[in-house]
């Protein structure tokens, strides 16, 4: 994200001449004190002496160079459609009804009752469902799609419904119905579909008309690429990242426009800019997005509005959790490193994730996913996840003990420990063979997988992918990484 420089922030200015400490336009040094200029002429050669002279080839410019920012834009571009791929016939779209039926089916199975008529979750598990146009727009606005995912190979985005997604769907729906907050950490091996599970949660939330806030990559918050400034009157000092917040507010407003434009402000807030009373929340987001200086107070006002009783449920997601479970790369004026939890947005998220009493009176979910490919190792997070899983297993009758912290380990982070004390964990494993088959059949129907999909090929790919790790199945069968 590009940062605009402001006087209060500590980041390095883009334009040095703006600094008050820039060089004065005059000099008091006496001219005579200056060292005499060395003559540029080479000393004369003796007569008859030969020297080797090699002329350098001049650099020949050909063609028009790419415009500034163009190359990066190309790298970050997200393509969601491939016109060469075939349209998959009979692919259903994810909508509110489907979500309801998935939850109903799950309940029917749990009760052991006969399944209700129509579509049950048994029908949907292992199928790929499409995403509606407006859902795709919203997901794109919150940056839920990533460049590393294979969206660009298919006619339109589709999601595989797996057992875990039905489970997540059910728990989100339950949380909304009981007006509670689902606090969840999604973990799993590299390539097991954690980010896609987040995307699925967001897609579900969008079709159920929740308000969705997404932090697509936690490292953008903590690796000191954004401007930051202390928030007045906070002790210990809280740091807000204004440009990031402004951009984030813009994304939130754009993605949730359908919900927010019909929601008006109820309360009055003390904001640094005059804001009309009873404007829509979409407009409020716009105001915050326009001016980074007021973005953080406006975000606070926005948050207190959407958590007013009677509003829609809220989903807040974050990817690659371990980035915010340690000190950030930002520095305080005394040159000490700022802890991630002292950054305003991170603090906001961590408070929601760690507090057992619901920060969401209208219900909703706070979901964080870990990253196993490009993320720092956070010992505290690993321990918390392990302990949480073991506690859950004990509740189901597992006889083992809960892992204790290693007394000789120095790199635990106290604040991270506290934040993740009683968080629930959802572990993603490999796909089942039914799911793997459904996915591969979708690829074959799209025309991008040119092989027979039968039990044998599915079993082959499934076994070679470490018992169905979906990223590995994709790597072998879809990306043709051979």
Partner 1 sequence: MPPRLNILGAGRSLAIRSRPSIASQQPRILNAVSRRGYADEKDQPPSGPNENVEGHVSEYEQEMSRITGGTKPDIGQGTPVQEILERDEEGKEKAPEVIKEEIDGSKASANDNLTTFANLLALGQMENIAAGGHGSDPVTVGHKYGIPQLPLASNLNFKRRYDPVVNQVTNLIMRHGKKSVAQRNMSFILNQLRTAPPPTPNPSRPLLPGSPPPSHLPLDPIGYLTLAIDSVAPLLRIRSQRGAAGGGAALQIPVPLGLQQRRRTAVQWILDAASKKKSRGSGKGQFAQRFADEIISVVEGKSGVWERRQLVHKTGTSARANLNYGVRGRRSL
| CB closer to partner 1, 466 vs 476 | 476
Q: Which tokens belong to 142?
A: 């919150």
Q: Binding of partner 1 at residue 414 (CB under 8 A)?
A: no
| CB closer to partner 1, 198 vs 458 | 458
d(Cα 269, Cα 279) in Å, to the nearest integer?
12
Ramachandran assignment for 130, one of left (phi > 0), alpha (psi -120 to 50 degrees), beta (any other)? beta
Q: How far is the CB of 80 from partner 1 (least distance, A)?
A: 11
Q: Which tokens belong to 281?
A: 């929340």
Q: Binding of partner 1 at residue 66 (CB under 8 A)?
A: yes
* Listed residue (308, 288, 381) closest to 340, CA to CA: 381
Residues in the chain: 482
- Burial label for 71, CB within 10 Å (0-12, 13-18, 19+), is exposed
Q: In this chain, which stretch among 59-67, 91-99, 200-208, 348-356 interacts with partner 1, using CB under 8 A? A: 59-67
Q: In this chain, which stretch among 75-83, 292-300, 334-342, 414-422 interacts with partner 1, using CB under 8 A? A: 75-83
Q: Binding of partner 1 at residue 297 (CB under 8 A)?
A: no
Q: Which residues contact 380 (CB under 8 A, 6 or more apart)?
A: 325, 412, 413, 416, 417, 420
Q: Which of residues 142-201 bind partner 1 (CB under 8 A)?
A: 152-153
Residue 318 is inside which H or E element, if any? strand 314-319
Q: Binding of partner 1 at residue 57 (CB under 8 A)?
A: no
* Listed residue (249, 257, 246) closest to 282, CA to CA: 257
Q: In this chain, which stretch among 49-57, 100-108, 310-318, 432-440 interacts with partner 1, using CB under 8 A? A: 432-440
Q: Binding of partner 1 at residue 266 (CB under 8 A)?
A: no
| CB closer to partner 1, 334 vs 456 | 456
* Angle formed by the axes of helices 295-306 and 242-255, nearest 10°: 40
Could you report how far apart the first and last alpha carbons of the chain are, in Å? Answer: 35
d(Cα 458, Cα 431) in Å, to the nearest integer?
11
| CB closer to partner 1, 84 vs 116 | 84
In Å, how far are 118, 123, 170 from 105, measured between CA atoms?
10, 9, 10
Q: How far is the CB of 82 from partner 1 (least distance, A)?
A: 5
Which of 437, 445, 473, 474 lies at the binding interface for partner 1 (CB under 8 A)?
A: 437
Q: How far is the CB of 152 from partner 1 (least distance, A)?
A: 6
Which of 71, 190, 266, 418 lies at the binding interface for partner 1 (CB under 8 A)?
A: 71
Site string for partner 1, 103-132 (x = CB under 8 A): -----------------------x------
Handedness of CA 303, 309, 310, 316 (dihedral sign): positive
Which of 4, 84, 237, 422 lies at the binding interface for partner 1 (CB under 8 A)?
A: 84
The pair phi, psi for residue 428, each rounded to 5°, is -95, 130
Site string for partner 1, 218-247 (x = CB under 8 A): ------------------------------
d(Cα 17, Cα 451) in Å, to the nearest integer?
62
| CB closer to partner 1, 85 vs 271 | 85
Handedness of CA 318, 249, 252, 423 (dihedral sign): positive
Which of 10, 85, 91, 464 lies at the binding interface for partner 1 (CB under 8 A)?
A: 85
Q: Binding of partner 1 at residue 481 (CB under 8 A)?
A: yes
| CB closer to partner 1, 82 vs 261 | 82
Which of 82, 120, 264, 327 lies at the binding interface for partner 1 (CB under 8 A)?
A: 82
Q: Binding of partner 1 at residue 456 (CB under 8 A)?
A: yes
Site string for partner 1, 372-391 (x = CB under 8 A): --------------------
Rg (CA), the chain: 28
Number of residues that bind partner 1 (CB under 8 A): 33
Which of 108, 231, 337, 434 lies at the binding interface for partner 1 (CB under 8 A)?
A: 434
Distance, CA of 225 to chain centre: 16
d(Cα 149, Cα 201) in Å, to the nearest integer?
17
Which of 41, 47, 75, 235 lies at the binding interface for partner 1 (CB under 8 A)?
A: 75
Query: Which parts of 190-343 fold into alpha helices (H)?
Result: 194-207, 219-222, 242-255, 257-260, 281-290, 295-306
Distance, CA of 420 to chain centre: 19
Q: In this chain, which stretch among 45-53, 111-119, 396-404, 446-454 interacts with partner 1, using CB under 8 A? A: 446-454
Which of 1, 14, 70, 258 lies at the binding interface for partner 1 (CB under 8 A)?
A: 70
Which of 29, 62, 148, 373 lies at the binding interface for partner 1 (CB under 8 A)?
A: 62
Q: Which tokens belong to 185?
A: 């950490």
Which of 177, 377, 402, 459 lies at the binding interface for partner 1 (CB under 8 A)?
A: 459
Tokens 């606005």 sit on residue: 141
Helix (H, G, I), strand (E, B) or coil at 159: strand
Q: How far is the CB of 209 from partner 1 (least distance, A)?
A: 33
Give the DSSP letter of residue 35. Answer: P
**Residues in the site for partner 1, rule: CB under 8 A?**
62-63, 66, 70-72, 74-75, 79, 82-86, 126, 152-153, 433-434, 437-438, 447-448, 450, 454-456, 458-459, 479-482
């Amino acid at each position: 994200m590009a940062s605009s420089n402001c006087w209060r922030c500590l980041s390095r200015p883009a334009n040095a001449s703006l600094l008050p400490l820039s060089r004065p336009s005059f000099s008091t040094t006496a001219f005579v004190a200056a060292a005499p200029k060395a003559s540029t002429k080479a000393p004369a050669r003796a007569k008859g002496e030969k020297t080797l002279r090699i002329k350098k080839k001049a650099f020949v410019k050909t063609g028009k160079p790419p415009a500034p920012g163009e190359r990066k834009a190309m790298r970050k571009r997200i393509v969601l459609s491939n016109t060469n791929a075939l349209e998959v016939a009979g692919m259903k779209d994810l909508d509110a009804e489907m979500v309801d039926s998935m939850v109903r089916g799950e309940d029917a199975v749990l009760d052991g009752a006969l399944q209700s008529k129509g579509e049950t979750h048994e029908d949907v598990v292992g199928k790929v469902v499409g995403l509606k146009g407006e859902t795709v727009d919203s997901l794109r606005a919150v940056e839920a799609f990533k460049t590393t995912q294979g969206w660009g190979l298919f006619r339109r985005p589709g999601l595989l419904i797996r057992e875990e997604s039905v489970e997540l769907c059910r728990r989100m729906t339950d949380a909304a119905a009981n007006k509670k907050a689902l606090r969840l950490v999604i973990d799993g091996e590299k390539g097991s579909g954690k980010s896609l599970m987040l995307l699925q949660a967001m897609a579900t939330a969008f079709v159920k008309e929740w308000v969705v806030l997404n932090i697509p990559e936690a490292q953008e918050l903590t690796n000191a690429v954004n401007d930051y400034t202390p928030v007045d009157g906070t002790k210990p000092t809280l740091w807000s990242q204004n440009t990031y917040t402004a951009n984030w507010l813009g994304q939130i407003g754009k993605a949730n426009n359908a919900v927010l434009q019909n929601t008006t402000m109820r309360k009055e807030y003390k904001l640094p800019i005059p804001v009309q009373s009873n404007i829509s929340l979409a407009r409020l987001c716009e105001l915050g997005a326009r001016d980074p200086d007021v973005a953080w107070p406006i975000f606070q006002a926005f948050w207190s509005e959407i958590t007013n009783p009677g509003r829609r449920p809220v989903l807040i997601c974050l990817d690659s959790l371990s980035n915010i479970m340690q000190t950030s790369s930002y520095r305080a004026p005394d040159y000490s490193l700022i802890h991630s939890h002292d950054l305003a947005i991170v603090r906001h998220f961590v408070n929601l994730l760690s507090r057992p009493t619901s920060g969401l009176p209208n219900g909703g979910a706070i979901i964080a996913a870990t990253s196993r490919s490009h993320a720092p190792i956070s010992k505290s997070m690993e321990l918390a996840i392990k302990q949480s899983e073991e506690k859950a297993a004990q509740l189901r009758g597992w006889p083992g003990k809960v892992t204790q912290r290693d007394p000789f380990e120095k790199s635990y982070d106290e604040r991270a420990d506290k934040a993740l004390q009683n968080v629930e964990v959802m572990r993603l494993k490999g796909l089942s063979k039914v799911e793997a088959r459904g996915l591969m059949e979708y690829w074959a129907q799209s025309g991008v997988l040119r092989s027979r999909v039968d039990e044998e090929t599915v079993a082959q790919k499934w076994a070679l992918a470490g018992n169905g790790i979906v990223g590995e199945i994709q790597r072998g069968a879809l990306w043709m990484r051979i």
